[in-house]
Amino acid sequence: MPGIRLTNLIVFLGCCGLILIALYMQYFMHMLPCALCVTQRIFVIAAGVVALAAYLLNPGTAGRRAFAAAGVLAAGAGAGFAARHVWLQSLPEDQQPACGPSLDYILETLPLTEALDVLLAGDGNCAEVLWNFLGISLPGWTLVAFVGLIIINLWQLLRR
């Protein structure tokens, strides 16, 4: 098994890979992210930054556990938003929320607190399934990635 420090580097590189895949899908496959997609990206970045900081600082036991706990929190929050996204996609069409304005419009016109409320809640744009692999949508795979990050960070938290 890789050591604690190497595991943090692997988590950071995995998060970088997830963001690169998201950017590839956005710019080369022309799949514009919805509000919940952007929120999930923020939590992937947060989990990656925590892992990078843990790798660079190489703290002792207490610091390692603090970084691992922060990683669990970031990945757990991201998993919550990914689960909401999967739930929105599973709703029948007549129960899906109405589509809202574009992300650019939300960020440019609404006050920050209202923009955050819209981003965190999602809308009808989030219910559209644009891509799937093995019958699982992109938010479903993101949820799988977050669960993996939670497991790895819990392992980092509990290992000796």
Domain around 67: 4-158
**pTM for the structure as a whole:** 0.82
The answer to whether 112 touches 26, Cβ cutoff 8 Å, is no
What CATH number should be reported for the domain holding residue 52? Answer: 1.20.1550.10
- pLDDT for 44 equals 97
Q: Is the pLDDT of residue 78 over 90?
A: yes
User: Is the pLDDT reported for residue 106 higher than 80?
Assistant: no
Is the pLDDT confidence value at 118 over 90? no
C-alpha–C-alpha distance, residues 41 and 58, integer Å: 25
Number of domains in the chain: 1
**What Cα–Cα distance (Å) separates residue 87 from each residue in 57, 90, 92, 136, 159?**
38, 5, 10, 12, 34
